[in-house]
Amino acid sequence: MYTHSRKRIGLGVWSMLAAVVLGCTLSMPGAGWAQQLGNIELLKQAQAFVDAQNYPAAESIYRQLLASNPDNPEALKRLGILEQTNMKLDESIEHFKRILLKQPEYSQVNFFLGLSYYGKHDFPSAIASLQREAKTPTAHLATQYYLALALEAINRMDEAIEQLNVAATRNPKKAEVFYELARLHISASFHAIDQLRKIDPDSFQYHAFMGEFYSQAGQNEGAISEFQKALKKDPNGQGIHSHLGVAYYLVNQFDSAEKEFHLALQEWPDEPYANLYLGRMAVHDHDYKKALPFLLSAVETHVEEDYVRVLLGRCYIGLGQLDEAKADLIIATKLDPDDPRTHFLLAEIYQKLNQSDDRERELALYNKLLDIQKAKEASDPGAVTAPATENNP
Amino acid sequence: MRISRRQLLGSTVLALGSRVREALCTPLWKWTSTPVLNAATLPGPAEQSPVVYVDVAKEAGLTLPNVWGGVQKKKYLVEVKGSGLAFFDYDNDGWLDIYLTNGMRFGESYTRQTAPTSHLYKNNRDGTFTDVTAHSGLARTGWATGVSVGDYDNDGWDDLFCTFWGQNILFHNNGDGTFTDVTVKAGLQADRLRWGSGCTWLDYDLDGRLDLFVCNYVELDIEHVPLPGQRPTCQWKGVPIACGPLGLPGGMNILYHNNGDGTFTDVSEKAGILKPGPRNSLQPVAYDFDNDGWPDIYVAADSTGSLLFQNKHDGTFEEIGLRAGVACSDDGRQQAGMGVGVGDYDGDGWFDIFKTNFEGDACNLYHNNQDGTFTDQAYVAGVGGLCPYVNWGAGFVDYDNDGWPDIIYVTGHAYPEIANAGIGSFYKSPRKAYRNLGNGKFQDTSAQLGPGISQLYASRGCAFGDYDNDGDIDILVLNMNDPPSLLRNDGGNRNNWIKIKLQGVRCNRTAIGARVYITVGKRTQMDEVHSGGSFMSQSDLRLHFGLGQARVVDAIEVLWPTTHKREQFTGIAANQILTIKEESGILSPVRRS
């Protein structure tokens, strides 16, 4: 942790220093115009030394500025940052505090003070400084990120995650933020699952969780095993049958899948996946009368609605209700304009309606979308390997 | 309300504890999980069938294992797809011989003695075969994929065209047990590396000479294709597998016109074969689908739309697959078409198409609507359930000689890596059989047809034919990296049958494209002599018809291509192998009982 902290502080300072130069030069107090211009030049010069990693030369300039004005906040801040960079954390803290004594909200000083405390592993002080910084109107963009790190360091995980979520909103492309967020979630999961296992490694909850875990990982055999164990522990355990049905379906055990989906519907008649899969299986069996009520129920939940509309379209075509089929397929084209199959099915409807021009148009669209798909695949060799199947539509 | 699947299943992905720690540190495909499914669905107690298939390959002397890429892992797509084989009578002795393709393994070096080659086995007429490869001229090392048989020079000896991932080869049958590679002389030398897959001989212009249609699967350059695991998406259900075919450029099919002087001309462009653009074509079959007397071509394609080339009678074809309803699934999804069988399963006088597809998909049974379109009747007919296996070679076979063509196909997953991955997929899996009930429906009889059907292999090509001339259809199966299976049909000949070998005179000598109608009572069956089919394989060129309990065929009618003349023979006794020569009638019947 210590090594990481040093590295983070160094990186943080370097990336931020350039950004504050301009703001600092425009807000220098307590000097005449000519002197101010002179100070700006000196600060520029110092920054050039910092950029060239000539830290002694930069420090010499800051000290020259402080000699003429010992309370020059910008010179103090920069000197503190320089000291922080050189891991002289106590000195940097002293300088940051001197600024805050007179100007408690001086731009981003609380942030750098927090970083110095963080570097010293004084996490409560770091948290306090960073929290003060967060309240200022010019809070540094990385405030929540470092606040989260400090909170994490003293095991205040929920607050850390909360801060990282704020940071993620403000820095949506910052990999470090999402890296930490992912780490903390893993960590939290580890903790919770370990606890779950310690309580009872053969509990309903543990098996249910492991079933979901295997499902997510595509390990459907493992998922089936765990869900079965969960149901053995608690035959009335809610929410398992649908998951188990999906797992059975994905290993092509369709009879078992169907049984589980029906059990899921006994628990909750609107269970979206049970309805979707039962409808889907019935459509595949060309049993459209059987499929229709399931699909109508599934479409109400809007779960995977584009696919459900396609299934409804197929269903209505099979039942000869072409207007209904057309309506659902047109909605499906709007929900997923890139799916060629909807146009194929629309073409089939127009063929049945003897509307040859419409059919040709839809077939042309179907071919065009297929070509686009192929072009995408060709531009990324190996991007897709799985053949399109009923299970992999 | 919009509920994401993630929400529904919960959001936790990772867990603690030794098991989950293992999960975190172990690639998905190496996980150990409680096996809750058996390796494959084995048949339980089943109704006794009068027909059983027994694998007699070992007794027959077919013991050499196939060599085709890695056994446990495969780096490149070419190692995945496999190859075909042939039942054909190379020495004209009236008994089916066997040609087995073979491949190689990346990273292995071979000497002349150890290099795997294709094999030719001569039928000893006693249920056994002798390996005659050494002197046959067919011993080639390479990635031999497909095979089809036809007498391209009309000299009376069936020749062999073999496709390769590499240079395809035309082997001329010298009539003395040897073959000569005439590829260059015939003008069939390719100018670059291609992946030839299925192929078929046909006389598309009815000039009496066999032309050649060759599928090319994808453009595979192993120097530039990503390796398994190199891209996160080169995987199947989380298991890294060889990349492709999607993402690789598709191949262009080729139609060669037979010039009549031992050479061929590529007429693909002129004939309209290139018009649909690149496809991942695997298996072509040539039949007269629209009953106009001219052969059309259906091509099963993998992950791209399958093709139907309608013969326009002027040397050109029009691709009508999409409009005809045989390009994709009934909801427009492009399927992973592998193998093809063609037959008139409902006896309406029009050829229907059976196509095998990938795991988790249904096979297609395209019923011919007699108006240029087809309807996928797989579900209605009872052969359309979502299949847990990857399916390959297939055919319409009247295995019980009841007069109705049944369906048999072989299976086996594409990727050996999934064998122990715990994802519900099986690498080795059983064969499937469906009995035609004579009413447009089929019954799954896989569990009733004995150990030859239920045994587990990663099979690819299969060929159908009566190798022991006992009047029922046997099956030769290529098993990837295993010895082949020779599935002897025991009991099929309890019903009566008739087998017809046609010999063309005005038409091509092999009589490819000739159609035979068999009438018994009110029922008429038909079939056409065809080359290539199933999955990159060649079946018996003789036409076999089951007759049920009928002891006499009321009428045999032959419709010859080229002249379009019909010849009819009446009152033919059952249970014999007839040779009918164009314009000469029946030659030397061989009665068997």
Q: Residue A189 and residue B13: Cβ atoms within 8 Å?
A: yes
Residue in chain B lying closest to A364 (CA): B322
List all residues of chain B from 326 to 345 with a beta carbon under 8 Å from chain A.
328-336
**Closest approach of chain B CAs to the CA of A302, in angstroms?**
5
Mean pLDDT of chain B: 90
Give the residue among B311, B171, B180, B338 at the shortest CA–CA distance from B255: B311
Residue from A242, A390, A391, A392 whose CB has the most chain B CBs within 10 Å, to mutate: A390
Q: Residue B15 and residue A212: Cβ atoms within 8 Å?
A: no
CATH level 3 topology of A2-186: 1.25.40
Asked if residue B389 lies in contact with residue B359, where contact means CB atoms within 8 angstroms, the answer is yes
ipTM over 0.90: no
Q: In angstroms, how far is the first alpha carbon of chain B from the final one? A: 70
Does a cis peptide bond (omega within 30 degrees of 0) precede residue A340? no
Neighbours of A36 (CB within 10 A): 15
Residue in chain B lying closest to A198 (CA): B17
Q: Does B13 touch chain A (CB under 8 A)?
A: yes
* pLDDT tens, position by position, B487-541: 999 999 999 999 999 999 999 999 999 999 999 999 999 999 999 999 999 999 9
Nearest-by-Cβ selection for A310 from B34, B225, B331: B331
Q: Residue B28 and residue A217: Cβ atoms within 8 Å?
A: yes
Say yes or no to pLDDT of B40 above 70. no
Q: Which amino acid is at B391?
A: N
* pLDDT tens, position by position, A267-299: 999 999 999 999 999 998 889 999 999 999 999
For residue A173, the model assigns a pLDDT of: 87
For residue A324, the model assigns a pLDDT of: 97
Distance, C-alpha B495 to centroid of its chain:
26
Q: Does B26 touch chain A (CB under 8 A)?
A: no
Asked if residue A264 lies in contact with residue B30, where contact means CB atoms within 8 angstroms, the answer is no
* pLDDT tens, position by position, B437-472: 999 999 999 999 999 999 999 999 999 999 999 999
Give the pair of three-digit tokens for residue A143: 């405030």
Residues of chain A in contact with residue B230, where contact means CB-CB under 8 angstroms, are 382
CA atoms of B582 and A197, how far apart (whole Å): 80
Residues of chain A in contact with residue B242, where contact means CB-CB under 8 angstroms, are 385
* DSSP designation for B457: B
Nearest-by-Cβ selection for B225 from A194, A225, A382: A382
Superfamily of domain A296-393 in the CATH hierarchy: Tetratricopeptide repeat domain (1.25.40.10)
Q: Does A232 touch chain B (CB under 8 A)?
A: no
CA atoms of A374 and A80, how far apart (whole Å): 58
Residues of chain B in contact with residue A221, where contact means CB-CB under 8 angstroms, are 33-37, 422-424
For residue B384, the model assigns a pLDDT of: 84
**Closest approach of chain B CAs to the CA of A213, in angstroms?**
6
For residue A375, the model assigns a pLDDT of: 78
Which residues of chain A fall short of a pLDDT of 70?
1-37, 377-393
For residue B25, the model assigns a pLDDT of: 30
**Closest approach of chain A CAs to the CA of B1, in angstroms?**
6
Give the residue among A341, A369, A359, A358 at the shortest CA–CA distance from B373: A359
Residues of chain B in contact with residue A359, where contact means CB-CB under 8 angstroms, are none
Q: Residue A251 and residue B424: Cβ atoms within 8 Å?
A: yes
Give the residue among B275, B277, B321, B273 at the shortest CA–CA distance from B300: B321
Q: What angle do CA B405, B406, B412 make, to 5 degrees?
A: 140
Q: How many contiguous H segments (helices) and E segments (strands) does chain A have? A: 20, 0
Q: Does B225 touch chain A (CB under 8 A)?
A: yes
For residue B592, the model assigns a pLDDT of: 47
For residue A311, the model assigns a pLDDT of: 96
* pLDDT tens, position by position, B388-411: 899 999 999 999 999 999 999 999
Q: Residue A388 and residue B334: Cβ atoms within 8 Å?
A: yes
Q: Does B589 touch chain A (CB under 8 A)?
A: no
Q: Does A392 touch chain B (CB under 8 A)?
A: yes
Q: Does A340 touch chain B (CB under 8 A)?
A: yes
List all residues of chain A from 242 to 301 with a beta carbon under 8 Å from chain B.
242-243, 250-254, 272-273, 284-286, 301
Q: Does A216 touch chain B (CB under 8 A)?
A: yes
Q: Coil, strand, or helix at residue A244?
A: helix
Task: Indicate the range of A181-190, A360-369, B268-277, B474-483 predicted with least confidence.
Answer: A181-190
Secondary structure, 3-state, B33-88? CCCCCCCCCCCCCCCCCCCEEEECHHHHCCCCCCCCCCCCCCCCCHHHHCCCEEEE
Please, how many CA atoms are within 13 Å of residue B9, restricted to the half-sphere of its CB? 22
For residue A32, the model assigns a pLDDT of: 59
Each domain of chain A, given as residue ranges in start order, spans 2-186, 296-393
Residue tagged 């046959």 (tokens): B136
For chain A, state the CA radius of gyration.
Answer: 32
Distance, C-alpha B290 to centroid of its chain:
22
* pLDDT tens, position by position, B319-341: 999 999 999 998 898 999 999 99
Q: What is the pTM of this model?
A: 0.76
Q: In angstroms, how far is the first alpha carbon of chain A from the final one? A: 46
Residue from A185, A343, A389 whose CB has the most chain B CBs within 10 Å, to mutate: A389
For residue A27, the model assigns a pLDDT of: 43
